[in-house]
Amino acid sequence: MSAKNLDNLGHNAKFLYGLILPCQNYVLTPMMVNKAYRYELDPNNRQRSSFHRHAGVARFVYNWGLDQRIQLFKDNHGKDRFTDFMKQHKLLNSLKKTQFPWMYECSKCVPQEVLKDLHRAFQNFYRGRKIGKRIGFPRFKKKGGRDSFRLHGTIRFEDRKIQLPRIGTVRIKEKREKYHKGRILSATVRRRADRWFVSVTVEEEIPDPTPLSRQAVGVDLGVKALATLSDGTIIANPRNLGRKLRKLRYLHKSMSRKKKGSKNYEKAKLGLAKMYLRVFNIRQDTLHKLTTYLAKSHSRAVIEDLCVSGMMKNRKLARAIMDSGFYEFRRQLEYKCQWYGTQLMVAPRTFPSSKLCSHCGHKKTEFSLSEREYECEQCGLRIDRDLNAALNLVAASWSETENACGEEVRLLTDSMSLEKAASVKQEPNIIHDCNV
Ligand SMILES: [Zn+2]
């Protein structure tokens, strides 16, 4: 039985399927994942100023820690990297009483978590240097930028309210009481424009991730349409930034005309931040719907490994690419595929998905970006460019698995060996709230 015939088998065929395709990495036992749930808060004035104070402490400690690390690095001629964040935390605690007594007003976990984050930022920086990736040096945080702080300890939900350590019981704007189950690990309070949100990280057991449907789908991401699927579905791009660009430009202009630091300037700034938040929310919504659909209703998703930073250099495309959030798409798809037991395959950058003919396998030598339709010189096939690419991705994934199982070997080219991104990533996934 070929793998394609399994498409018609139902839900009960999972073990059979597992036996025939041992190369697939299905997780058949329930697994623990960290999930984050975000709620909008409805704080009163006292709580609002407490939030501001906590965010201020977080920012101060981060900058203090960064400055200290830089000084230490200079004094030791670049030898000591100050690798232990606990050391730094102890030092801060010893200074707290004499130098920063105002910190006692806030929860003690805020500085601790911030120094942990700083430590991670340095680790990433050093790791990036090792593997030759450009990861920036940690930067100082500015006031009024991204206010946030993380808490742990007694975090409890009680009918449409959340109890946070030191801050107390804060009302939640959400209509439903709570969506999550499982043990709460931490809570991050964040400001976006003039609204406050809390993301609660929960350790949750997710059920046996057996895909319901046995279909493979190829996804071609584009600029014109957000995505074209191999079954012919076209997901239109919401074009948020495009539609809202004039409004944004107007708001930017109106802010720049105001005197910095004045009341009107602050008002204009808030208006702009609100507009960006709106754009961000619409984009997230579209991406979440798309990635959930792909992971939930298919047994395999095949995508291209897009070189986003390379594409960004093309300035005409840059804004459209930024807008559709390719990075975010890949990130969401990776963790959702793991949740729903979908196999995610990533075609390498060298795979000529748009140049191949999906019908006869003929490869074009030249195929410019401006051509919207693929026309095969060999078999005369005329097909939409993106659909052709999506079909090629699925076809390549079949040939890949069949080769691995020793069935129906159909080699297309050598460059088509696909890496299995889903099987590499084993660590629990956390939904990070993406920054604007
Ligand atoms: Zn052809």
Q: For the stretch 403-422, what's the b/e string if a residue is b when 16 or more beta carbons lie within 10 angstroms of its beta carbon?
A: beeeeeeeebeeebebebbb
Look at residue 17 and tell me whether its pLDDT is greater than 70: no
Look at residue 415 and tell me whether its pLDDT is greater than 50: no
pLDDT confidence bin for 159, thresholds 50/70/90: confident
pLDDT at 212: 60
Catalytic residue, from 113, 147, 334, 386: name it.
Answer: 386
Q: What is the DSSP string of 367-425?
A: --TT--EEE-TTT--EEEHHHHHHHHHHHHHHHHHHHHTTSS-----GGGPPB-HHHH-
Cα 369 to middle of ligand 1, angstroms: 19
Catalytic residue, from 220, 323, 400, 402: name it.
Answer: 220
Query: For residue 153, what is the DSSP state?
Result: S
Q: Left, alpha or beta for 422 (phi > 0: left; psi -120 to 50: alpha)? A: alpha
Look up 304 and say whether it is catalytic. yes
Cα 374 to middle of ligand 1, angstroms: 9
How large is the average pLDDT for residues 103-108?
Answer: 91
The whole-chain average pLDDT of the chain stands at: 78
Decide which of 53 and 19 is more confident: 53
Look at residue 297 and tell me whether its pLDDT is greater than 80: yes
Contacts of 70 (CB under 8 A, 6+ apart): none
pLDDT at 18: 25
Look at residue 402 and tell me whether its pLDDT is greater than 80: no
Distance CA 331, CA 309 (A): 16
Decide which of 137 and 433 is more confident: 137
The answer to whether the beta carbons of residues 269 and 194 sit under 8 Å apart is no
Dihedral of CA atoms 359, 360, 365, 367 in degrees, nearest 10, equals -10
Cα 360 to middle of ligand 1, angstroms: 4
Sign of the torsion angle spanned by Cα atoms 285, 291, 293, 296: negative
Cα 389 to middle of ligand 1, angstroms: 13
> Both tokens of residue 14?
């999972």
Q: How far, in Å, are 1, 190, 242, 294, 433 from residue 284 at the CA level?
A: 41, 17, 16, 15, 10
Query: Which H or E run contains 290?
Result: helix 263-296
Question: E-assigned strands of 193-307?
Answer: 195-206, 216-221, 225-229, 234-236, 300-304
Catalytic residue, from 113, 147, 304, 400: name it.
Answer: 304
Cα 421 to middle of ligand 1, angstroms: 30
Lowest mean pLDDT among 114-123, 141-150, 316-325: 316-325
Look up 373 and say whether it is catalytic. no
> Both tokens of residue 142?
């500015």
pLDDT at 73: 78
- Name the H helices within 99-212: 109-131
Sign of the torsion angle spanned by Cα atoms 209, 213, 218, 224: negative
The answer to whether the beta carbons of residues 283 and 323 sit under 8 Å apart is yes
How large is the average pLDDT for residues 15-34?
Answer: 46
pLDDT at 215: 85
How large is the average pLDDT for residues 373-395?
Answer: 91
Cα 392 to middle of ligand 1, angstroms: 12
> Both tokens of residue 12?
């009960």
Q: For the stretch 71-104, what's the b/e string if a residue is b when 16 or more beta carbons lie within 10 angstroms of its beta carbon?
A: eeeeeeeeeeebeebeebbeebeeeeeeeeeebe
